[in-house]
Structures are given as structure tokens and as C-alpha cells.
């Protein structure tokens, strides 16, 4: 279809508005309330145009293009009307551009310039409005607000945090937070969506004030280094000072559609932190001294060589990282396997999703999240179990909330804590940590009893159905009986089963609440069982969706930083595959499965592991049973830590190597939906810090590897050759929006959702899974169930987020406990208490709330001053070897 703008013909797509066609063709029409992500609001009236055969003027932002339409944007009548609107907006606020942060980037200013308005022609009407500076990151100056409503729409419809609204009427209309609270006292989570959408300088990044104007900043796109959502970021950089001024979300990214969370947008202080390592360090007489790269590398090489000679290759172990790129992970495992000669390589995925990989690989044939983020909106029912989505994966939470808000999707939330997502849920159930299998079996029990399963799907695509039936139809999984185990009322269980099974398409999202158990693999398999019998796999909007915790944990797994598989989940014990790698790498490789993280620590403790090479991890805080970890680190002969900071773990190292941050290097991250996205170099690294891939190559070459990777793309080429899922994801092809694996050829478009028509393993495998209780249950001495997790504002061990003061101000250590328990113990809110388990004791202030069940307490694990993992139980899942972070027995006592 064609429309004519000022006499010239332009193509228009069905459903496109006239303004969109114009802007796409670089015809400027002033517009203030329209934004591609908030849609036409027709509020500001700046975008008026003339249209043949229509009376008066029309707002172009909400005027659908029609074939043959004749539009005039430049007649005097049009410009005059636009001028009045812009003039009124300018003269109704404190628009003194010279002192405004938005100068040069302001849409009101642009419109005024375009229309030739030098100064407003109406008398200024200045009501003194005091800016609201109460929030850590977001600064509000209502004197500049033009009431365009974009922030209101963004906060309510995009991120669905439902904080902003309009208050008052007419000329006195203003944006308000909650019921007219200060922003810092409102329920705002400081995602910054409103900042990004505001066309003027009314809502801005507080910390960017006075840090430079838009034209002084260079923009570089990259990928967020925190959680596994993999939001695309636009860094605004002061090149001269080599630092980031602010961060915005990339508007057209299919992953985050411009949205970010408080960490991604504001938690970047660690990059310019004075605590960054700038030079290699060598321990001498118990103290670190600075060293040159040559010295440090040759020391490591010689120690590694002598340990290999004396104790064999398996005396060395390597911990790779979910925070470095695919290429670096690839090189790391190649180094361990080829240069050291061992499969002792693992990384923190062991601690978060190894049970997912184990459970899903066995049942479905692929261990990854089956579906994509964009498909979320196609689900009729979404079940969240064991995932504090809005805290740990905020942008995926936003997409789920959007679907719910649209009205099409129903939400079921199952979690021991009444997490924020429960506010949006149709059904919320608080179950006891560790009762997941019983609960999921119960749902299947009800579904099968009522014949709500998808029998055609079961017949055609699954095996093991009879075995599953036998298990779940037992009386012990009747809702009345599972009510006793899980604490969820039988009627609720029934309602959940019905709502879930009757949906045309239902998806399940889960995270560590499912995986971090001794029964982690069982839990995951049970989720898969449920989805299989309901026929929810292999279609858009459905799926089993484990949310990956770290920016590149998916990539680190894909790249074979696991003790049993090469890149692409190719088994080290499979002879043919081993031969392939031996041929490609020109070396004999070990066929022996290596050690997992926990086994490495145990090995070090027992003296079997002599050297440990840690890249970008902090087992000191992240691994369970901290006392045990400390003794292991103390015992180890030779510890190399490669990191941006002198982490708690690095304090024990013999050699510390300074690595670059994610904005100082190139490479790819693979996000939770299997999307491979590119990082770009934005800043130069501090001092002598080097990219991890460069360090690994230096080390390898000093052990006579003879590697010749000139750039990251050389490594990427090798990945393409050796990893079938990545074969078509070449350096040249990835582009801005990335590609989703599996992508077997260079012409393959990538795969948004897995298991279409056929499971990766052929038939989906159902298995009857008996319910087993958690390893450590509450008893008289330790009467409470302790569970651990994340908060929105912090990440992992806090190495990065805790360098941003604002984030620290927003969320500190705490132990969440129920009102009932607190009252029984006489503990008041914010009162410091001692929490103890069989492994240790920590202190933290109590956070007394109705959001947690009686008998359950919760501690976030980010804080070294209150390290939750001093308390957790290191028992592991027998297959996946994941520790039981989510359940152990604990007690609380008052300090006084």
C-alpha cells in the first residue's frame, strides 16, 4: 500500500500509522507523546497533519495509513497548529534548555527548533515545583513535565510496575507515584523505564546530572553482564575520561525491547572502580606483590607443568566462568583438556542449573530453556514455580506481567515466599521448600484422574507413560495427602491442575527453587513430565523454561565447561567424538569424566587436587558450607585466580591475574533463551588488565600450545566448526539481535523454540519419580527451614553490584521471617538476630513479613558480612551434583 506525503509516494504497511510511515522515511513531524514502545496516545496534539477529504487537522500518530491517502505535513495551517502546541508546552514549564540535562536530546527542543520557535510567545506560568530527588537513581523535575504520559504508560504497560499515574486535573495535572508519595518512598523499583521514555528532562538519571551532554557521549551497544535475560544495553560513554555516564536499553532488541532492571541500568560503578586489578600479583611471603605478565604467566606455566609431572593431569582443576564470553569459555576448556590434559573443568552452572541440564537432557534431549522470550505472550497459562522472577530475571518478569495485563494469560505462582509475581497471579500457592516433586506429581494425579491430559500427544510423541501413571496415580499423591506434605490446600492444588491442564498452551518458568535441591534433577524431570503429558512442548508460548542465572551461564555450558562434555554437549566418553576433537586439536585427550565444582573443593581438601585455576568465579561466597571451602582453599598447593577484583577467593591465591570487564572486550554471550549476542568494546581496560581469552592464550602458549588466535573471531570460527548447534552462528552473521541455537547452517534462521514435531532425543521420555524428602529436615534443635536466594538489587556474590553505593543503599543483608515466628520469638522488625545451622552461624537484621510462610526463613546470599553459604548444606543431587541451597534446618536466636 502506498500513501502520499507532501506529494511523494511512500510504502506503508498494514496497520501502520501515518506518523510511523513519515518517521520511517525521515520526514519529521513533531511528536511528543508518541513513542514506538508506548504507542499512539494522541495526547500532545503536536503531530497534526492535513489529510485530503478529512475535515480540519488530524493527529498523525493514531491515524492509520490507507492506500492512496494524501497527507500534507508542511502547509502553513499545519505548522501553525503545531507551533501553538509546542509554544504552549514550552511556556508552561521551566524549559531553560541551557541548564537542562536533556539538552540536545530533548524532543520538545527538537520540535521547537524544527518549527523555528525562538522563545515561547506566551507568558511563562511558573509554579515553583521542587524537584523530587528522593530516589537513588531517578531524578524527577516536574517543572519540565509536559504530561505526555509516556512514563505512565511505560511503568504500567511495559515494565508493569504500576507506580506512576497522573494526579490532579487540567493545568495542574502532574505525574504521581503510588498515592502521591516521594519517588524514593514509593514502590518504584528503579528500573529506569520512565527515564528512558521521557521526551524531555523531567525524569532523568540522577547520577548522570552534570556528567556531560548527549552530544559529548559516544554510544556503544553491548549485552548486560548480570542475569541470563541478556538485555541489550546502550552505553553512553565519555571517551576522553574512558567511563560510562549512563546506560539505556536497546529499544529494538527482541530480548528486552528497551527495558532494563536497576542492576543493568545503574549497577555499572564496578567498571570504573578503583579496586579493579591493574596488574598481575604474585604471593611472596604471605603478601601480594605486583608482577609483570611474563613473570606471572611463566610462574603459572612452570608450576602447572611440575604438578602434572609429579601428580598427573588430574591434579589440576579449572573453574571457568558464566560471566565471560563463549570464546573465552571455549578457550578455557580447551586449555584444560588439551594443555593440562584433564576434564576437570566446571563452572558455577553446577550450582544453579546442572540439574536442569541433567534432567532435561535425559527427558527431552536438550538441557536448555525450550522456548523464547518473545513467545511468552502466546501462553494461555503461565506457571512460575521456584523463581522469584521479578527479582532475579526482572525483564522476563515484565514480559510475563505484560501478558497477564493484556488479559489473555492467566498466571499461577507457586513459591514458599509470596514473591512480587504473586501479586499478579490468578492462583498463588505457598508450598514448603523441598516438596516440589510431591506437588507436581499431585498435579499430574489430578490431571490424569480427570482425563485432562493430551492423549494424542502422549501416544505420538512420548514414551514411559505407563511408568509415570503407575507412580503418580498412587494415593499418596491425592491432593488431600499432598496438602500435608506441601502445605498447599487440596482445593488449591485441584484448581491449579485444572487451570493448567485446560489451557490450550501453558508454559512453566522455574529457576533455582526447582534446581537447588538434592532432588534437583527429579524436580526438573517432574516439570518436564507435567509439560509432556499436557502436550505443551514444541509449540510457541509453551515449554519448560529454566531461567538461567548469569549472563553467560548458557554459553559456558554450551562451550563444554563441564567435566563430562565437550562443546555442544558432546560426551568425552564417546570415542568418535573424542577422536573428532583430538583430530581438530592435534592432541590425545582424556576419556575420563572430570571433577565437578563440589568435587574439586573436596579434592583440594583431601589433597588430591593440587592446583586450581579459577577464572571469574568466587567460590568463597557461592559454594555451600563456607568453612569447608575455606579449609580447602587454604590447603591447596597452587591457586590461580583470574578476575577483575581481588575477590574473597583471590585473597587465597598464589597468583592473581587482572582481567577486563565485559565492556572492555569483544565476544559473545548466550542468554537464557539460547540467543547468542555480541559484546562490543566500549572502554579501554585499566592498567595492564587483559581480556580473559588473551590471558588463556598467553598461558597456553607458554606451555607450548602454539595457539594463534589473533582476534576473538578466530575462536568463534573454531566454535562454529566443532559445535553443531553453533555451526551457523558465525561472527559475521550474529548482527545486533543475535541468533538462537540450534543453528546448524549458515542459512538457518535460528530456533526460537525447541522440540517442534520431534524431541531432540526422538520421543520425550516420561519417568515416574517418587517423592523424596530434602536431606536435612527441621527438628527440635533446628526447627526452621532455611532457604536462600537473590534480591533484585544485587547479583551473585556482589562482586559487581556492591560497588554501586545506590544499590547497597537499597538492599542490605537480612533474614526474612514470618510474623508468627517473629512474634513467638519476640523478634522485632530490623532487629539483628543470629541464624545458625549445623555448619555455622551468621548475623543479619530480621525482616518480618507476611510474605513468608511460618516455619520458613529466607536469606539472600550476596553479602560477605552475612554469608548465607556459611549455613547451607553441601549435600548434592546424586546425578547433577548440585548442592541443596534451598533447604536446610536452621534456628534463629535473639542477640541480646
Partner 1 sequence: MNFYRLQVLIGIDPSSLQAGAREIENTFQLEIARHKLQDEVNLLETGSLGYFGTGVAIMIYPGQITYVNLKKEDVPEIVTEHFLKGKPVKRLMLGQAFTSGYNFNYRRRIVLENSGLINPENIREYLGRGGYESWEKALLEMKPVQIVDIVKNSGLRGRGGAGFPTGLKWSFTQPLTVPQKYFVINADEGEPGTFKDRLIMEGDPHKLLEGLMISSYAVGATKAYIYIRGEYRLCINRLQKAIDQARELGLLGSNIFGTGFDLDIEIKIGAGAYVCGEETALIESMEGNRGQPRSKPPFPGVKGAWQKPTVVNNVETIANIPSIISHGADWFRSYGTESCPGTKVFTILGDVYMPGLCEVDMGTSLRTLIEEYGGGIRDDKKFKGALLGGAAGVFLSEKLLDVKMDFNSLKEYGAVLGSGAILVMNEDADMVDMLYAVIRFFRHESCGKCIPCSKGTQKLYRIISRIRYGEGSEEDLVSMIRLAQAMNISSFCALGQSLLMPIRSVIDNFRDEFLQKMDKKYKFSREAS
- Footprint of ligand SF4 (CB under 6 A): 138, 145-151, 154-155, 159, 161, 163-164, 175, 188-194, 197-198, 200, 202-203, 224, 226-227, 229-231, 256, 260-261, 263-264, 393-395
764 binds, among ligand FES, ligand SF4, partner 1, none (CB under 5 to 8 A by kind): none
Residue 255 CB, nearest approach to ligand SF4 (Å)? 8
Cβ neighbours for 285, distance < 8 A, ≥ 6 positions apart: none
Residue 168 CB, nearest approach to ligand FES (Å)? 20
Query: In this structure, what C-alpha cell is assigned to residue 273?
Result: 572502580
User: Of 2-31, which residues contact ligand FES (CB under 6 A)?
Assistant: 31
Stretch that binds ligand FES, among 36-44, 184-192, 276-284, 507-515 (CB under 6 A): 36-44
**Residue 49 binds ligand FES, judged by CB under 6 A:** no
85 binds, among partner 1, ligand SF4, ligand FES, none (CB under 5 to 8 A by kind): partner 1
**DSSP label at residue 17:** B
590 and 581 Cβ atoms separated by less than 8 Å: no
**Residue 297 binds ligand FES, judged by CB under 6 A:** no
Residue 189 CB, nearest approach to ligand SF4 (Å)? 5
Residue 389 CB, nearest approach to ligand SF4 (Å)? 10
When binding is defined by CB under 6 A, the residue of 42, 88, 584, 825 that contacts ligand FES is: 42
In the complex with ligand FES, the residue whose CB is nearer, 61 or 698, is 61
In the complex with ligand SF4, the residue whose CB is nearer, 163 or 440, is 163
Residue 41 CB, nearest approach to ligand FES (Å)? 6
- Mutual orientation of helices 436-449 and 479-486 as an angle, nearest 10°? 170
* CB neighbour class for 508 (10 Å; exposed up to 12, middle 13-18, buried from 19): buried
In the complex with ligand SF4, the residue whose CB is nearer, 37 or 521, is 37
CA 335 and chain centroid, separation = 28
* CB neighbour class for 111 (10 Å; exposed up to 12, middle 13-18, buried from 19): buried
Residue 214 CB, nearest approach to ligand SF4 (Å)? 16
How many positions of this chain bind ligand FES (CB under 6 A)? 12
Residue 549 CB, nearest approach to ligand SF4 (Å)? 10
**Residue 677 binds ligand FES, judged by CB under 6 A:** no
Residue 35 CB, nearest approach to ligand FES (Å)? 9
CA dist., res. 364 & res. 760, Å (int): 6
Residue 171 CB, nearest approach to partner 1 (Å)? 4
Residue that is written with C-alpha cell 538485555 in the block: 231
**Residue 78 binds ligand FES, judged by CB under 6 A:** no
In the complex with partner 1, the residue whose CB is nearer, 404 or 447, is 404
Reduce the DSSP state of residue 46 to 3 states and report it: coil
242 binds, among ligand SF4, ligand FES, partner 1, none (CB under 5 to 8 A by kind): none
Binding residues (CB under 8 A) for partner 1: these are 32, 40, 42-46, 48, 56-57, 59, 62, 80-81, 84-85, 88-89, 91-92, 122-123, 125, 146-147, 165-166, 168-173
CA 360 and chain centroid, separation = 20
In the complex with ligand FES, the residue whose CB is nearer, 44 or 810, is 44
Residue 619 CB, nearest approach to ligand FES (Å)? 53
Torsion, Cα 6 7 8 12, to 10 degrees, reads 70
**Residue nearest to ligand SF4 as judged by C-beta position:** 264
User: Of 54-73, which residues contact ligand FES (CB under 6 A)?
Assistant: 59, 61
**Residue 157 binds ligand FES, judged by CB under 6 A:** no
In the complex with ligand FES, the residue whose CB is nearer, 41 or 532, is 41
CA dist., res. 887 & res. 788, Å (int): 8
616 and 323 Cβ atoms separated by less than 8 Å: yes
Cβ neighbours for 357, distance < 8 A, ≥ 6 positions apart: 349, 367, 557, 562, 880
CA dist., res. 861 & res. 336, Å (int): 30
When binding is defined by CB under 6 A, the residue of 3, 12, 22, 44 that contacts ligand FES is: 44
261 binds, among ligand SF4, ligand FES, partner 1, none (CB under 5 to 8 A by kind): ligand SF4
Residue 384 CB, nearest approach to ligand FES (Å)? 36
316 and 600 Cβ atoms separated by less than 8 Å: no
In the complex with ligand FES, the residue whose CB is nearer, 73 or 435, is 73
**Residue 150 binds ligand FES, judged by CB under 6 A:** no
In the complex with ligand FES, the residue whose CB is nearer, 59 or 253, is 59
Residue 79 CB, nearest approach to ligand FES (Å)? 15
Query: In this structure, what C-alpha cell is assigned to residue 140?
Result: 524527577
* CB neighbour class for 119 (10 Å; exposed up to 12, middle 13-18, buried from 19): exposed
When binding is defined by CB under 6 A, the residue of 3, 21, 32, 887 that contacts ligand FES is: 32
91 binds, among ligand SF4, partner 1, ligand FES, none (CB under 5 to 8 A by kind): partner 1
453 and 459 Cβ atoms separated by less than 8 Å: no
369 and 545 Cβ atoms separated by less than 8 Å: yes
Distances from the Cα of 300 to the Cα of 349, 591, 645, 785, angstroms: 26, 25, 19, 44
CA 306 and chain centroid, separation = 41
Query: In this structure, what C-alpha cell is assigned to residue 528?
Result: 518436564
536 and 379 Cβ atoms separated by less than 8 Å: no
**DSSP label at residue 827:** P
Which stretches within 367-454 are classed as H helix? Answer: 389-392, 394-406, 436-449
Q: How far apart are the first and last CA of the chain?
A: 77
Radius of gyration of the chain (CA): 28
In the complex with partner 1, the residue whose CB is nearer, 45 or 246, is 45
CA dist., res. 483 & res. 479, Å (int): 6
Query: In this structure, what C-alpha cell is assigned to residue 808?
Result: 547497597
Residue that is written with C-alpha cell 510496575 in the block: 161
191 binds, among partner 1, ligand SF4, ligand FES, none (CB under 5 to 8 A by kind): ligand SF4
CA dist., res. 847 & res. 831, Å (int): 8
Residue 81 CB, nearest approach to partner 1 (Å)? 5
**Residue 842 binds ligand FES, judged by CB under 6 A:** no
In the complex with ligand FES, the residue whose CB is nearer, 197 or 601, is 197
* CB neighbour class for 454 (10 Å; exposed up to 12, middle 13-18, buried from 19): middle
Q: Provide the binding-site residues for ligand FES, judged by CB under 6 A.
A: 31-34, 42-47, 59, 61
Amino acid at each position: 500500500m502506498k500513501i502520499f506525503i507532501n506529494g511523494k509516494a511512500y510504502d506503508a504497511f498494514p496497520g501502520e500509522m501515518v506518523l510511523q510511515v513519515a518517521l520511517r522515511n525521515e520526514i519529521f513531524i513533531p511528536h511528543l507523546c508518541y513513542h514506538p514502545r508506548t504507542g499512539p496516545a494522541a495526547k500532545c496534539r503536536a503531530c497534526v497533519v492535513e489529510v485530503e477529504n478529512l475535515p480540519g487537522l488530524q493527529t498523525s500518530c493514531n491515524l492509520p495509513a490507507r492506500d492512496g491517502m494524501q497527507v500534507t505535513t508542511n502547509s502553513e495551517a499545519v505548522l501553525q497548529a503545531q507551533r501553538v502546541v509546542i509554544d504552549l508546552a514550552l511556556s508552561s514549564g521551566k524549559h531553560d534548555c541551557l541548564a537542562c540535562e536533556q539538552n540536545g536530546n530533548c524532543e520538545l527542543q527538537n520540535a521547537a527548533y524544527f518549527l523555528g520557535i525562538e522563545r515561547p510567545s506566551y507568558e511563562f506560568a511558573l509554579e515553583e515545583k521542587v524537584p523530587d530527588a528522593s530516589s537513588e537513581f531517578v531524578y524527577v523535575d516536574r517543572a519540565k513535565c509536559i504530561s505526555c504520559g509516556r512514563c505512565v504508560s511505560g511503568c504500567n504497560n511495559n515494565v508493569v510496575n504500576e507506580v506512576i499515574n497522573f494526579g490532579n486535573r487540567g493545568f495542574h495535572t502532574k505525574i504521581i507515584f503510588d498515592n502521591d508519595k516521594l519517588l524514593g518512598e514509593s514502590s518504584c523499583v528503579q528500573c529506569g523505564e520512565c527515564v528512558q521514555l521521557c521526551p524531555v528532562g523531567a525524569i532523568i538519571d540522577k547520577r548522570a546530572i552534570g556528567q556531560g551532554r548527549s552530544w559529548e557521549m559516544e554510544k556503544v551497544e553491548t549485552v548486560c553482564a548480570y542475569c541470563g535475560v541478556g538485555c541489550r544495553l546502550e552505553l553512553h560513554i565519555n571517551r576522553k575520561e574512558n567511563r560510562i555516564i549512563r546506560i539505556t536499553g536497546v529499544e529494538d532488541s527482541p530480548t528486552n525491547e528497551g527495558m532494563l532492571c536497576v542492576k543493568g541500568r545503574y549497577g555499572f560503578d564496578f567498571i570504573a572502580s578503583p579496586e579493579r586489578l591493574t596488574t598481575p600479583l604474585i604471593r611472596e611471603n604471605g603478601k601480594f606483590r605486583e608482577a609483570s605478565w611474563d613473570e606471572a604467566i611463566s610462574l603459572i606455566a612452570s608450576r602447572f607443568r611440575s604438578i602434572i609431572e609429579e601428580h598427573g593431569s588430574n591434579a589440576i582443576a579449572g573453574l571457568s566462568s558464566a560471566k565471560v564470553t563463549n570464546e573465552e569459555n571455549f578457550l578455557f576448556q580447551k586449555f584444560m583438556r588439551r594443555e593440562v590434559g584433564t576434564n576437570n573443568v566446571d563452572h558455577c552452572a553446577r550450582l544453579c542449573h546442572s540439574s536442569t541440564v541433567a534432567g532435561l537432557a535425559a527427558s527431552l534431549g536438550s538441557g536448555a530453556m525450550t522456548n523464547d522470550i518473545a513467545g511468552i505472550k502466546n501462553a494461555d497459562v503461565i506457571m512460575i514455580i521456584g523463581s522469584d522472577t521479578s527479582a532475579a530475571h526482572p525483564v522476563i518478569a515484565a514480559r510475563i506481567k505484560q501478558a497477564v495485563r493484556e488479559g489473555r494469560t492467566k498466571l499461577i505462582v507457586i513459591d514458599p515466599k509470596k514473591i512480587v509475581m504473586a501479586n499478579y497471579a490468578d492462583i498463588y500457592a505457598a508450598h514448603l521448600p523441598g516438596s516440589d516433586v510431591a506437588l507436581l506429581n499431585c498435579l499430574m494425579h489430578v490431571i490424569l484422574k480427570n482425563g485432562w491430559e493430551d492423549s494424542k500427544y502422549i501416544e505420538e510423541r512420548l514414551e514411559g507413560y505407563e511408568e509415570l501413571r503407575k507412580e503418580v496415580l498412587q494415593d499418596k499423591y491425592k491432593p488431600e495427602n499432598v496438602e500435608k506434605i506441601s502445605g498447599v490446600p487440596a482445593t488449591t492444588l485441584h484448581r491449579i491442575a485444572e487451570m493448567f491442564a485446560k489451557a490450550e498452551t501453558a508454559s512453566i518458568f522455574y529457576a533455582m527453587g526447582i534446581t537447588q535441591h538434592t532432588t534437583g534433577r527429579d524436580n526438573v524431570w517432574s516439570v518436564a513430565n507435567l509439560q509432556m503429558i499436557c502436550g505443551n512442548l514444541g509449540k510457541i508460548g509453551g515449554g519448560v523454561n529454566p531461567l538461567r542465572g548469569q549472563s553467560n551461564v548458557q554459553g559456558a555450558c554450551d562451550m563444554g565447561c563441564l567435566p563430562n562434555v565437550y562443546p555442544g554437549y558432546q560426551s568425552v566418553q564417546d570415542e568418535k567424538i573424542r577422536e573428532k576433537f583430538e583430530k581438530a586439536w592435534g592432541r590425545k585427550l582424556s576419556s575420563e569424566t572430570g571433577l565437578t565444582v563440589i568435587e574439586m573443593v573436596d579434592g583440594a581438601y583431601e589433597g588430591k587436587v593440587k592446583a586450581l585455576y579459577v577464572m571469574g568465579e568466587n567460590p568463597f561466597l557461592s559454594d555451600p558450607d563456607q568453612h569447608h571451602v575455606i579449609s580447602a582453599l587454604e590447603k591447596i598447593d597452587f591457586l590461580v585466580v583470574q578476575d577483575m577484583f581481588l575477590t574473597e577467593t583471590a585473597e587465597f591465591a598464589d597468583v592473581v591475574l587482572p582481567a577486563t570487564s565485559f565492556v572492555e572486550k569483544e565476544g559473545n554471550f548466550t542468554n537464557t533463551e539460547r540467543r547468542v549476542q555480541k559484546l562490543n568494546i566500549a572502554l579501554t581496560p585499566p592498567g595492564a588488565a587483559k581480556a580473559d581469552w588473551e590471558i588463556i592464550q598467553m598461558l597456553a602458549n607458554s606451555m607450548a600450545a602454539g595457539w594463534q588466535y589473533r582476534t576473538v573471531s578466530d575462536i568463534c570460527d573454531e566454535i562454529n566448526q566443532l559445535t553443531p548447534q553453533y555451526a551457523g552462528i558465525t561472527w559475521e552473521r550474529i548482527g545486533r539481535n543475535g541468533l538462537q541455537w540450534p543453528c546448524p547452517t549458515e542459512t538457518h534462521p535460528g530456533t526460537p523454540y525447541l522440540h517442534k514435531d520431534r524431541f531432540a532425543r526422538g520421543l520425550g521420555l516420561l519417568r515416574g519419580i517418587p517423592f523424596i524428602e530434602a536431606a536435612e529436615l527441621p527438628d527440635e534443635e533446628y526447627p526452621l527451614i532455611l532457604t536462600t536466594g537473590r534480591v533484585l538489587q544485587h547479583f551473585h556474590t556482589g562482586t559487581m553490584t556492591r560497588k554501586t553505593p545506590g544499590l547497597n543503599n537499597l538492599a542490605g543483608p537480612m533474614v526474612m521471617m514470618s510474623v508468627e515466628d517473629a512474634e513467638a520469638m519476640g523478634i522485632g522488625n530490623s532487629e539483628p538476630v543470629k541464624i545458625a545451622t549445623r555448619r555455622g552461624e551468621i548475623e543479619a537484621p530480621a525482616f518480618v513479613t507476611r510474605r513468608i510462610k511460618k516455619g520458613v526463613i529466607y536469606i539472600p546470599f550476596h553479602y560477605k558480612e552475612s554469608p548465607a553459604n556459611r549455613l547451607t548444606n553441601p549435600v548434592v543431587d546424586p546425578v547433577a551434583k548440585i548442592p541443596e541451597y534451598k533447604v536446610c534446618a536452621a534456628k534463629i536466636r535473639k542477640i541480646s
